Chains A and B, each alone.
Chain A
Amino acid sequence: MFRVTMKEDLNEQDYYLEVEAPHVSRHWRPGQFVIIVTHERGERVPMSVATINGGRVGMFIKKLGKTSVELYRDFKVGSSLYAVAGPLGRPLKLESYGTVVLASDAVCGHAEQLGLAQELAKLGNKVISIQTFKTEKEVYPEKYLAKKYVDEHFITTLDGTAGYKGHYIDLLRELLARREVKAVFAGGVLANLKKLAEATAGLNARVYALVRTIMVDGTGMCGSCRVRYNGVIAYACRDGPWFDARLVDWDDVLRRDARFKKVEKIALDKYLAR
């Protein structure tokens, strides 16, 4: 069950992992995520879905803490994960907007772009994709970029070693000044999503963001993932994970993301010291 069918480096930190999970792939729609558990003692870890190949689900994962590092080091093609559940969350209700921009600056955002780009193109949108990396070295191999599904594709790097120099927000600002963008979908670093919400405050377009919160069950049972949205409490796993970026209380999201920082470090250090 849940056999690993492929594992590949995307760059030094991020990797692609594909597992057999036909029960998930059957009904998955863009915007939905999965929860994986490595082994019996593992944590329930939410992941965006990058690819669906028949009954196989592909993810982009960043080597960040215990689970993601262990998964990279100890799981090979042929190993099995303990659990894969999903699809979870609400599918995005996508429409024909006109010109839309996809923007991302980290794993989950890059992953979400692939599904979104294909679906938005199918709906007849003109899709522009911006993918931000730190330097040229971090840029993903071409087959894992949204490039092949979109009308225009931009790489930006913070140091300018590849593509546009700057962050997706900088390029987006320029695009917004020149083009009539009807919808923006962004995912990645939470602090930058907050900036995006500020930068698009008065914009007459939809702006959606992937709200990545700390989850346990992913089914609306525990409230770990809660986020203040439009003044009330929403559950990211059940009501999201995509929300109107400008109605999200980002300070709340950022604060709650740091809830377990201290103990998470203990787990990683202990694993690495094995």
Chain B
Amino acid sequence: MSRVVKKRFTPKVLPVSERLRSFGEVVLGYDYETSVREASRCLRCPLWFAPCSKACPLRVKVPAFLEYIVKGDLEAAARKVYEDNLFPSITGRVCPQEWFCEGSCVVSKIGESVSVGLLERYVGDYARENGLDEKILAEMVSKNSGVKGRVAVVGSGPAGLSAAGWLRLRGYEVVVYEALHRPGGVLAYGIPEFRLPRSVLDHEIKKVENLGVEIRLNHVVGKTVLLSELLSEYDAVFIGSGAGTPKLLNIPGVDLNNVYTANEFLTRVNLMRAHLFPEWDTPISVGKTTLIIGGGNTAMDAARVALRLGSKPVVVYRRDREDMLKTARRDEVLHAEEEGVEFRYYLQPVEFLGDENGFVKAVRFEVMEPLNELDERGKKKIVGTGRYVEIPADTVVIAIGLEPNRLLMEESGLRFNEDGTIAVDDHLMMSLPGVFAGGDAIRGESTVVEAMADGKRAAEEIDLYVRRKKGLA
């Protein structure tokens, strides 16, 4: 075997100076030559062994599609990816590959792992830009004969879109019910366009619609239509309602003005385009300094949005950088750092302080320190020191996580776990026969790719369930 190239090829990236006031995409990706070179770094592990593919929740056959890139046959590469993943332009951009494929790549033992994510994105974008994706999907869907049944999908986030797509490919009629006026879930309201451009997301959604999936916007299941109605109208229901409700800090001053949850802050900008106010109607109010409390993807996104709104962002995390990289995608941390986002570690907020008009003016933190002990998730346990610091800020974004949205709960009579997630069995079915669920709704906060994998598996389980019910299997 030829010598392994230890260093990965770097993609084109928008210069920092151009990012500061722009929502344009930051990572511009590979060109053809670089993608071939990067794909050539792959050792072509046999599929039964390839750890990258095994670590991928969608089981994308990584070495197989990389081999086609090396050969220059991008259409074949795209076909290979589409066998397992309908949304490579999305996952290639937002997956934390270091926890999945790239994290287990053999090459990482002696050098840097193969950039599977950027290559997947390259193939996905190539297919999209050349109309291949529609062609491949049309071929895949044409393999069906007749309609096997009708399925309702609740929520149009990654879990719902993936379930809808795979169900269509299995020959089902699918209607997606979405509460908001735009489909996409967190992809539309949470992840900023400098990471996932609107044009890409819109295309990926259109693709699902072109397969014949109907998306009914402005429909809140549990309010506009009831689960019981869906059950009588459809053969099965898939719930991909996400982990929609933000956790708030239960400390004094949390009600002050300009204290946002990350979901409000990001939704105002990403979904409602408040950065284009007043050309767009939704306002946002940010001051000179924005403190972002938390250390996950949401915190990174909020910080980088604040920066682009002209505020100075300071991310305050109660643990250290090493632990932060266990919750946030590495690239986003690196980009935030190079864009000049300031980071403060080992600080836990205890109080928000307000001015005489009820706007936040500072946050008081307790200084924390690590113990020599790890928690269940492998992060260092921390304790308070009894020492306090105050950081002035006129805007605060709380990004400490989400819990499942209880909206559906009220009406449905379904069984929920203590933490609010939906309880499902090994077949992703809930306590109500014919109702399946996946994504953040069952996992709590997880990842785009895991939500998509749930949607894909649910499609398989639903297919089996419906065929059994109809005596076809």
Contact = CB atoms under 8 A, between A and B. Distances in A.
Given A42-B281, A219-B407, A83 B218 contact: yes
Contact of B285 (A43, A84, A262): A262
A28 B178 CA distance: 18
Contacts of A86: 218, 220, 223-224
Contacts of A24: 224
Nearest to A216: B267
A26 B224 CA distance: 8
A78 B339 CA distance: 49
Interface in B276-290: 276-285
A219 B250 CA distance: 21
B226 interface: yes
A32 B224 CA distance: 11
Given A27-B226, A43-B281, A263-B277, A221 B181 contact: no
A106 B246 CA distance: 32
Contact of A44 (B244, B254, B282, B406): B282
B251 to A, nearest CB: 11
Contact of A263 (B219, B245, B261, B283): B283
Contact of A223 (B224, B248, B278): B248
A221 B220 CA distance: 12
Interface in B195-240: 217-220, 223-226
B431 interface: no
B25 interface: no
B272 A44 contact: yes
A267 B281 contact: yes
Contacts of B256: 255
A88 interface: yes
A24 B225 CA distance: 9
A167 interface: no
B112 interface: no
Interface string B306-350: 000000000000000000000000000000000000000000000
A238 B268 contact: no
Contacts of B54: none
The contact size tier of chain B is 35 or more
Contact of A83 (B217, B223, B226, B244): B217
Contacts of B461: none
Interface in B249-303: 250, 254-258, 260-261, 263-264, 267-268, 272-273, 276-285
Contacts of A235: 245
Nearest to B245: A220
A260 B224 contact: no
A219 B244 contact: yes
Nearest to A82: B181
Contacts of A220: 244-245, 405-407
A38 B263 CA distance: 23
Interface in A19-41: 23-24, 26-27, 32, 37-38, 41
A260 B406 contact: no
Nearest to B246: A223
Interface string B411-451: 00000000000000000000000000000000000000000
B358 interface: yes
A88 B223 contact: yes
Contacts of B255: 226, 228, 233, 249, 252, 255-256
Nearest to B182: A83
B268 A216 contact: yes
A67 B281 contact: yes
B367 interface: no
Nearest to B179: A219
B466 interface: no
- Which of A42, A43, A262 has most chain B Cβ within 10 Å? A43
B180 interface: yes
A49 B84 CA distance: 46
Interface in A77-128: 82-88, 90
A233 B272 contact: no
Interface in A207-257: 216-217, 219-224, 226, 228, 233, 235, 238, 249, 252, 255-256
Contacts of B179: 85, 217, 219
A205 interface: no
A219 B268 contact: no
Contacts of A252: 255
A24 B224 CA distance: 6
A224 B265 CA distance: 9
B217 A267 contact: no
Contacts of B250: 233
A86 B263 CA distance: 20
B220 A41 contact: no
A235 B407 CA distance: 11
A65 to B, nearest CB: 9
Contacts of A38: 281
A23 B282 contact: no
Contacts of B358: 255-256, 258
7 contacts: A24-B224, A217-B189, A219-B220, A221-B244, A223-B248, A252-B255, A263-B284
Given A221-B245, A223-B248, A224-B264, 12 more contacts: A24-B224, A26-B224, A44-B282, A85-B220, A88-B220, A90-B410, A219-B244, A220-B244, A221-B244, A221-B246, A224-B261, A258-B357
Interface of A: 23-24, 26-27, 32, 37-38, 41-44, 66-67, 82-88, 90, 216-217, 219-224, 226, 228, 233, 235, 238, 249, 252, 255-256, 258-260, 262-264, 266-267, 270-271
